[in-house]
Amino acid sequence: MKTRLTLSSFSSVFRHGRLSLALLAVLCASLVLAACGDNTATTAPAPTTAAATTAAAATTAAQATTAAAATTAAATTAATTAAATTAATATTAAAATTAASSDAPALGDPNLKGTVTFWHTYSADSKEQDTLKNVVLPGFAKLYPNVKVDAQQIPDTDFRQKLLTGISGDILPDVARLDIQYVPEFADMGALAKLDDMPGFAAIKADAYPGPLSTNFWKGSYYGLPLDTNTKVIMYNKALLDAAGLTAPPKNMDEFIAAAKKLTVPGKQYGFVPSGTGAWSILPFFWSLGGNVTDENITKASGYLNSADSVAALQQLVDLKKAGVMPDAIFGGGISTMEGLATGQYAMIDDGPWMNSIAASQFPNFTLNYAPMPAGKGGSIGIVGGEDLVMFAKSKDSPAAWAFSRYMLSKDVQLAMGKIGQLPAIKSVATSPELASLPYYSTFLTQLQSTKARLPHPAWTKIETVLNDTFEAAFRGDKDVKTLLDAAAPKVDALLAGTK
């Protein structure tokens, strides 16, 4: 990653959390740090907390982050605060899962026999691949000595097509690590096994963050487990904020908009620069400002994507571009967001935990500062990235496949992967002292408590294209925001309904 990357390059590489967290090797010494169903019998978990609670969490984390960046003494105070918050969160999570855990069978069965074929996209020659081979799989073999795991690494760019081909030819693995955006698609095809009634599933469900968990939900059932996750937060150049007289990063959207304008110096410095104009880049701000893409059950976009709140949300972002707060580089080209931030050309950006390792390797003298998403009418909403673990319906060794799946969500595996940058989606592990005490981790942990998934729906990739085109046209000023959203809503309606 020592070559220059454009804004669009960062979005493409990191958006789904596939290659992103592999870049956290440097971060590991100091930081750990890519759906909902219809209204049937089972209701998907709510993806966010209440706005008031979110705002409070955002305030606390922002203050702690700023203090940590200021001085050593302040950093110690922030760490202490984060530890206290972590302990409280962990206690709550433990209490919530006690009943469910009591029904979960213990891991380990020397009498279980079988072979589990496991397809994954951990990058070759990466710490994730090494940990899988040298820690995770040997650990499983000790618990299940008569179950063989055939782990096969598949290039990320080929993975979805290989699965589609496998469905046609009836050649599929037993278990796969699947990008979160594809779970509803393969569930809708009937390729994935329902997990709701599997032994131990209730305990995992109770201990998972709602946002990552929701990516496995389709038409009233769960078809996967949240294996790892990521989200994005605000990153800022503290020296530029200090020079502008801003003593802390913005805590709410009014402060954010005002700060972005104040931090803009025409021809020299931009106040805020998103990683692009696509859905992955814009949705966290769109949601936080009160916008919505569909109704809660993901059945209709009209009246939601083009609602007054959604129009107002997108308009506020477009107005920042018109005011000169954002450069034309948001459309592609130009310097990367990290380079702009580190060299003092960009005051604020938003991105994920992988940016710390990039900053450390490319700009070792720059201190990267973090703050949660500013809270607006919709709350402080982050976007969910990461991978899920799915089991295929035609698995010939379902008991062994489920045993392996549960093992991958166990504390030992989640800690091992967490320490090398795979952020756990399981609360009790994410809030454990081994991970939560790491520097800067608390900001991402806070944001994970208030996130949304990119529409967990089989048609998401096509819907994303509609949103990408609409958002870019709005920022370019091709048409007014309301006209664009009015045109986009029926297109999304048709995709949700399964029509072209």
pLDDT per residue, tens digit, the chain (500 aa), is: 333 344 444 444 444 443 333 333 333 333 333 333 333 333 344 333 333 333 333 333 333 333 333 333 333 333 333 333 444 444 444 444 443 444 567 888 999 999 999 999 998 888 899 999 999 999 999 999 999 999 999 998 899 999 999 999 999 999 999 999 999 999 999 999 999 999 999 999 999 999 999 999 999 999 999 999 999 999 999 999 999 999 999 999 999 999 999 999 998 999 999 999 999 999 999 999 999 999 999 999 999 999 999 999 999 999 999 999 999 999 998 899 999 999 999 999 999 988 887 888 899 999 999 999 999 999 999 999 999 999 999 999 999 999 999 999 999 999 999 888 788 999 999 989 888 777 677 899 899 889 999 999 999 999 999 999 999 999 999 999 999 999 999 999 999 998 54
Please give the pLDDT value at position 4. Answer: 36
Q: Which residues of 375-396 are buried (b: 16+ CB within 10 A; e: fewer)?
A: bbebbbbbbbbbbbbbbbbebe
Beta bridge partners of 451: 382
Element (H, E) at 434: helix 433-436
The span from the CA of 310 to the CA of 481, in Å, is 9
In a 3-state reduction of DSSP, which class is residue 145? coil
Round to whole Å and give the CA distance between 64 and 80.
9
Provide DSSP, 281-306.
HHHHHHHHTT--SS-TTSS--TTTTT
The Cα 227–Cα 122 span in angstroms is 12
| Orientation of helix 481-496 relative to helix 308-322, angle to 10° | 130
Give SS3 for 347.
strand
**Could you tell me the CA-to-CA distances from 78 to 202, 325, 357, 375, 441 in Å, in that order?**
34, 31, 21, 21, 11
User: CA quadruple 219, 221, 227, 233: dihedral positive or negative?
Assistant: positive
- 109-148 in b/e form (b: 16+ CB < 10 A) is beeeebebbbbbbbbeebbbbebbeebbbebbeebbeebb
Rg of the chain in Å (alpha carbons): 22
- b/e sequence 234-254, b meaning 16+ C-beta within 10 Å: bbbbbebbeebebebbbbbbe
d(CA 431, CA 84): 11
- What whole-number distance in Å separates Cα of residue 348 and Cα of residue 370? 10
Own/partner contacts of 160-163, CB < 8 Å, gap of 24 or more, are 162/119, 163/119, 163/191
* Strand pairing report for 346-351 and 175-179: unpaired
Distance separating alpha carbons of residues 391 and 117, to the nearest angstrom: 10
Query: Would you mind telling me the total number of residues written for the chain in this entry?
Result: 500
Element (H, E) at 270: strand 270-273
Contact 179, 395 (CB under 8 A): no
pLDDT score of 119: 97
Tokens 């799989």 sit at which residue? Answer: 137
Phi and psi for 280 in degrees, rounded to 5? -60, -35
Q: Supply the pLDDT for residue 103.
A: 52
What is the pLDDT, as a whole number, of residue 86? 40
The Cα 143–Cα 36 span in angstroms is 34
CATH numbers and ranges of domains, the chain: 96-230+385-439 (3.40.190.10)
- What pLDDT is stored for residue 40 in this prediction? 36
- What values do phi and psi take at 269, rounded to 5? -145, 135
> Which of 340, 390, 427 lies closest to 100 in space, CA to CA?
427
Token readout for 209 is 């963050």
